[in-house]
Amino acid sequence: MQDLMFYLFAALTLICGMLVVANPFSRNPVTSAMFLVLTIASMAGLFVLLHAFFLAAVQVLVYAGAVIVLFLFVIMLLNVKEEERRKIKKVGLVTGIIAVIAISSIFLKVFTLSNSSLSAQLPAPTLEGGTAPLGKILFTAYLLPFEMLSVLLLVAMVGVILLSKRNLK
Amino acid sequence: MHVGLEHYLLVSALLFCIGLLGVIARRNLLIIYMSLELMLNAANLAFVAFSRFNNNLNGQVMVFFIITVAAAEVAVGLALIVALYRRRQTAHVEDLTTMKL
């Protein structure tokens, strides 16, 4: 049952991710943003299968709830029309595809290098990523990075306000 | 076949490649940003999978940090895109060639 769910969510993640990047039916950025929501949601499903319940909730709240809404607001603000197809430069396309193929072959090589199954050598997973253990480690071992993160968010907020002023001096 | 660590890593690698393809092949700044999010998410998935199969919670804390930094990055990046659009009336990378020699 869990394996079936994994294949379902993995297929959904990859198909929707592909549709974010290259949608054959629509060039509208709004469509891409909507498929990004689907990708994020199915990825939250994968997180649940990995017993990372808190992160699954955070993923849906922060990404699907905040980041995508921000994207949609900006698309609405910019009033981006359906972009016309432009000619992509041959050199750029060829080098880009070579780069992607190179990276994917490196990844695939890693999988084929380990001829014995990776997870067969590991003990059975028992970790539960609930809120309580994660909160405990976040406020003890990772207290300083956590506080620095709040400063980072403050800096980002100030920066965004400054950047969106009408006349930058 | 039982689903193990390598299945999750394969999904993560493929998702990363899809995001990379989007960053390289697409010309719309907003879509490039969405592809960047896909790549960050692929890294998150690898972190969570490693954390689960190594019985170590540190990976999940790292994912928590990554999600927060990604949110800050998106906010600043989109503000930059809006500022750029106000000045240049375009969100298309090929129209932004001021730095080109």
Nearest CA to A67 out of A97, A95, A111, A37 is that of: A37
Number of domains in chain B: 1
Higher pLDDT residue, A127 or B62?
B62
- Give how far B98 is from chain A: nearest CA, Å: 18
Q: Is the residue at B18 inside a domain?
A: yes
Give the model's pLDDT for residue B46.
93
Number of domains in chain A: 2
Q: A29 and B30 in contact by Cβ < 8 A?
A: yes
Give the model's pLDDT for residue A159.
92
The residue from A26, A56, A84 where one domain ends is A84
Range of the domain at B33: 5-92
Residue type at position B10:
L
C-alpha to C-alpha distance for A6 and A41, rounded to whole angstroms = 13
- Residues A35 and A23: beta-carbon distance below 8 Å: yes
A22: left (phi over 0), alpha (psi -120 to 50) or beta: beta
C-alpha to C-alpha distance for B98 and A29, rounded to whole angstroms = 25
C-alpha to C-alpha distance for A37 and A60, rounded to whole angstroms = 9
Does residue A141 share a domain with residue A71?
Answer: no
- Give how far B75 is from chain A: nearest CA, Å: 7
Q: A17 and B15 in contact by Cβ < 8 A?
A: yes
Give pTM, 2 decimals. 0.88
Q: B72 and A32 in contact by Cβ < 8 A?
A: no
**Among residues of chain B, what percentage have pLDDT more than 70?**
99
**Among residues of chain A, what percentage have pLDDT more than 90?**
38
Q: Is the residue at B86 inside a domain?
A: yes
Range of the domain at A142: 130-169
B64-92: per-residue pLDDT in tens? 999 999 999 999 999 998 888 888 887 78
Give the model's pLDDT for residue B3.
78
Mutate to test the interface with A, among B8, B35, B48 (most CBs of A within 10 A): B48
Does residue A80 share a domain with residue A5?
Answer: yes
Question: Quick one: average pLDDT of A141-149?
Answer: 93
Q: Is the residue at A41 inside a domain?
A: yes
Q: A32 and B4 in contact by Cβ < 8 A?
A: no
Q: Is the residue at B79 inside a domain?
A: yes
C-alpha to C-alpha distance for A36 and B30, rounded to whole angstroms = 12
Q: Is the residue at B99 inside a domain?
A: no
Prediction ipTM score: 0.90
Give the model's pLDDT for residue A85.
63
Higher pLDDT residue, A61 or A124?
A61
A66-84: per-residue pLDDT in tens? 999 999 998 888 876 656 6
Q: B57 and A125 in contact by Cβ < 8 A?
A: no
Give the model's pLDDT for residue B71.
92
Of A39, A55, A100, the CB nearest to B24: A100
Of A13, A63, A164, the CB nearest to B82: A164
Average pLDDT, chain B: 88
Q: Residue B44: is its pLDDT beyond 60?
A: yes
**Among residues of chain A, what percentage have pLDDT more than 70?**
87
A87-139: per-residue pLDDT in tens? 667 787 888 888 888 988 888 888 777 655 665 666 677 777 788 888 888 89
- Residues A68 and A43: beta-carbon distance below 8 Å: no
Give the model's pLDDT for residue B2.
76
Q: B92 and A83 in contact by Cβ < 8 A?
A: yes
Q: Is the residue at A91 inside a domain?
A: no
Does residue A12 share a domain with residue A79?
Answer: yes
Size of interface A-B (CB pairs under 8 A): 223
Highest mean pLDDT among A116-120, B34-38, B52-56, B97-101: B34-38
Average pLDDT, chain A: 85
Q: Residue B43: is its pLDDT beyond 90?
A: yes
Does residue A136 share a domain with residue A71?
Answer: no
